[in-house]
Chains A and B, each alone.
Chain A
Amino acid sequence: KAGVTQTPRYLIKTRGQQVTLSCSPISGHRSVSWYQQTPGQGLQFLFEYFSETQRNKGNFPGRFSGRQFSNSRSEMNVSTLELGDSALYLCASSGQSSTDTQYFGPGTRLTVL
């Protein structure tokens, strides 16, 4: 079974630009969560999608948004990039049950110059 895949793996953008990151969950998983990992703040929850609906959102500004498609693939978008958005963005997928394990992808390393 293929794991969680994230594209692209690395991205360099400049301040003010926008970026879209993609996550393909494990086949059959309908829940996708996104996390931001930085040296200073650690791992922080961004949002969770289940069956195309956002179920929860972390404490991030409205510049951070996401969506999920009918095939469970998810995208997150960051508009008007700031230097502080430089981070590793991780996606995790899990099955329908709340007790199912979350499987993490390798992440997208975003650098904002």
Chain B
Amino acid sequence: AQSVSQHNHHVILSEAASLELGCNYSYGGTVNLFWYVQYPGQHLQLLLKYFSGDPLVKGIKGFEAEFIKSKFSFNLRKPSVQWSDTAEYFCAVNAPPPGSARQLTFGSGTQLTVLP
């Protein structure tokens, strides 16, 4: 079965620090990869997604992620975090066939706290 690992459960940074959140998945075939964010009291929303093409994907709010197939990784980065980035971040991957592209397997999440 597909699995997704997010090794950092809680990350605490000061404003303006750089961010990198790790995400590794297990399936060796073609994958679609996602990062979702859940701000306090809000819905899950999509930060960015990778389906194919350029492995460096840019998302909303200055976030980007790099797909490295050989490492089964899709790490999320932001050069300079803000207090408003405090949230929980989830990495997700679609199910391998015959599963649907909409059937997502999520990592356990990383709580990011940015100190002002």
**Interface, chain A (partner B; CB < 8 A):** 3-4, 31, 33, 35, 42-45, 48, 55-56, 58, 90, 92, 94, 98-99, 101-107
Report yes or no: A43 in contact with B106, Cβ–Cβ below 8 A.
yes
Contact (Cβ within 8 A) A101 B49: yes
Q: Which chain A residues border B105 with CB–CB below 8 Å?
A: 45
Residues of chain A contacted by B36 (CB below 8 angstroms)? 104
A45 to B95, CA, bound (A): 10
How long is the Cα–Cα vector from A101 to B107 in the complex, in angstroms? 18
**Is B102 within 8 A of A104, CB to CB?**
no
A99 to chain B: closest residue by CB: B51
Smallest CB gap from B46: residue in A:
A101
Separation in Å of the A100 CB from the closest CB of chain B?
8
Interface size class for chain B? 20 to 34
Q: Which A residues touch B107, using CB under 8 A?
A: 42
The total of interchain contacts (Cβ-Cβ below 8 angstroms) comes to: 57
Q: Is A94 a contact of B49 with CB atoms below 8 Å?
A: no
- Residue from the list B51, B90, B95, B104 in contact with A102, Cβ < 8 A: B104
In terms of DSSP, what is the predominant structure of the interface of chain A?
strand
A-side contacts of B92, CB under 8 Å: 43
User: Main secondary structure on chain B at its contact with chain A?
Assistant: loop
CB pair A102 B102 closer than 8 Å? yes
What are the residues of chain B within 8 A of A94 when measuring CB–CB?
102
Tell whether, in the assembled complex, residue A99 and residue B101 are in contact, meaning their CB atoms are under 8 Å apart: yes
A90-B42 Cα distance, complex, nearest whole Å: 12
Contacts A/B (CB < 8 Å), 30 sampled: A31-B102, A33-B102, A33-B104, A35-B104, A35-B106, A42-B106, A43-B92, A43-B104, A43-B106, A44-B106, A45-B95, A45-B104, A48-B100, A48-B103, A55-B100, A55-B102, A56-B95, A56-B103, A58-B103, A90-B44, A92-B102, A98-B100, A98-B101, A98-B102, A99-B51, A99-B101, A102-B102, A103-B45, A104-B44, A105-B43
Known: A45-B95, A55-B102, A98-B102; 19 extra A-B contacts, CB below 8 A, are A3-B43, A33-B102, A33-B104, A35-B106, A42-B107, A43-B92, A43-B106, A43-B109, A45-B104, A90-B44, A92-B44, A94-B102, A98-B100, A98-B101, A99-B32, A99-B51, A101-B46, A103-B45, A104-B45
